[in-house]
Structure 1
Amino acid sequence: MVEKINLENVLFLDIETAPEHPHFGLCDEDTQQLYDLKTQYQRKDGQSPEEFYERAGIWAEFGKIVCMSVGYFTFRGDIRHFRVTSFCGEEKQILRDFNNLLSNHFNQPQHILCGHNAKEFDFPFIARRMIINNIPIPQKLNLFGKKPWEVPHLDTLELWKFGDYKTFVSLKLLTKILGIPSPKGDIDGSQVGYVYHVEKDIDRIVTYCEKDVVAVAQVLLRFRGEDLLVDDEIIHV
């Protein structure tokens, strides 16, 4: 039961991804052909791979991580804080910094990683990009040989499904129906690639990503029947 989880043992996270290149023409010929094959059933009739390249960020084979935000609870007596920080910039450094965080602070058996739709997207995307960047996969992301109950991952989408595998609920919808302040700002996930490659406004992406991390923590608090975080309890570091 989520009520029994020690919140100080949970690392909340969210990633923002973008196509690896600013536009399709910068991909080498092999990559262009492979992207064509990969997306042939996702594209609308008559839509070219080049026109569909703005979606490349959803696949670890053709996208990359441009921002990763994490958050965790701290308690000092009756004082509760939620500390949020972000890694952004060059992808390899983002992954190294995250790996160091896990290795140094969230590497014990009781520690859990938590995100929304993270089992389907964030966790495997991070692990795949680590392999691509020749970075060792930390134990918390290495699921080989683990039984389902041994996987140290918590997914708020999975909690909301209650065993119903047909349902997908966005974080924005879930926060709305649970009475949680919306995490979304002036962009959404489909615009991250444009903001990153064209506007080159990484701060805007960081703000968007950190809001999602706070929202995931709020959702878990609602599942536990606890008071939501207020602004004074959220610390950006």
Structure 2
Amino acid sequence: MLHKIPLENILFLDIETVPEKEHFEELSEAQQELWSQKTEYQRKDEYTAEEFYDRAGIWAEFGKIICISVGYFSLKGSERQFRTTSFYGEEKSLLTDFKNLLESHFSQSYHLLCAHNGKEFDFPYIARRMIIHGISIPFKINLFGKKPWEVPHLDTMELWKFGDFKHYTSLKLLTSILGIPSPKDDIDGSQVRDVFYIEKDLDRIITYCEKDVIATAQVLLRFRGEDLLPEAAILHV
């Protein structure tokens, strides 16, 4: 079935997130208490709520999206290309721009969205942050009323599970065992907060995010038994 999907109909994506406020003290007392309650199970007795705050980007209620990178296949004559671009900056603006892309170029029934662990993280996170900003959720992200086989999402981590719902495999591990260049050759997700707030190097985060998109596309090619994209076929637009 995977082989029957035209690659040109898939939009690959990845998001990078950080805590919405740089420091725990910037939260109101009510927000601090809600954060403490939200993370009580994960923290157990090992960390205080304040010590645990550097991980707030994982939760859409306390984090924000700083970059959405996307990629798609296109044909130039008989050659296949993969083009990437990114939306970044103020969150409401980048979410609106991403929504406009979906509605203008990837809105047909045959279009699919693909991400690694997207069903657990990227897709719901985007939807939640859109609701918080009062942005209507585009059809491709809104799952309300859809049957499982109607959901227009591919997830490379889910594909790798082969029905084993206890299994988690990171993109870094998957690229390693499949012989794909690692997207984590500079930073990884745990460092994004510091790169954003302390180093203030958004360009570095954008590059990292686009590498994840490229790696996800390469993984899907391996799943289909196809050759990997050569570096010359990858364009940043």
TM-score by length of 1: 0.99
1:221 touches 1:227 (CA, 8 Å); kept in 2?
yes
The match for 1:149 is 149
The match for 1:126 is 126
1:185 and 1:92 map into 2 onto residues whose CA distance is 30
Give the alignment of 1:78-93 within 5 angstroms.
78-93=78-93
2:133 aligned partner, one-letter code: N
The match for 2:34 is 34
2:25 and 2:56 map into 1 onto residues whose CA distance is 13
- The share of aligned pairs that are identical, in percent, is 70
1:67 touches 1:94 (CA, 8 Å); kept in 2?
yes
2:154 and 2:47 map into 1 onto residues whose CA distance is 37
Shift of 1:78: 1.5
Shift of 1:68: 0.6
**Change beyond 3 A, Cα 1:46–1:226:** closer
Does the residue aligned with 2:12 lie in a helix, a strand or coil?
strand
The match for 1:235 is 235
2:136 and 2:221 map into 1 onto residues whose CA distance is 32
1:45 aligned partner, one-letter code: D
Does the residue aligned with 1:74 lie in a helix, a strand or coil?
strand
The match for 1:11 is 11
The match for 2:181 is 181
- Structure 1 runs (4+) deviating above 3 angstroms are none
1:63 and 1:9 map into 2 onto residues whose CA distance is 31
Does the residue aligned with 2:41 lie in a helix, a strand or coil?
coil
The match for 1:116 is 116
The match for 2:97 is 97
CA deviation map 1:170-218 (0-9, x unaligned):
0000000011111113211011111111111000100110000000000
1:196 and 1:185 map into 2 onto residues whose CA distance is 18
CA deviation map 1:14-39 (0-9, x unaligned):
00000001110001111100000001
Give the alignment of 1:41-52 within 5 angstroms.
41-52=41-52
CA deviation map 1:105-149 (0-9, x unaligned):
000000000000000000000000000011010000111110000
Shift of 1:76: 2.8
Q: How many residues align?
A: 237
Unaligned runs of 5+ in 2: none
1:220 and 1:125 map into 2 onto residues whose CA distance is 22
1:22 touches 1:198 (CA, 8 Å); kept in 2?
no
More displaced stretch, 171-180 vs 76-85: 76-85
2:161 aligned partner, one-letter code: K
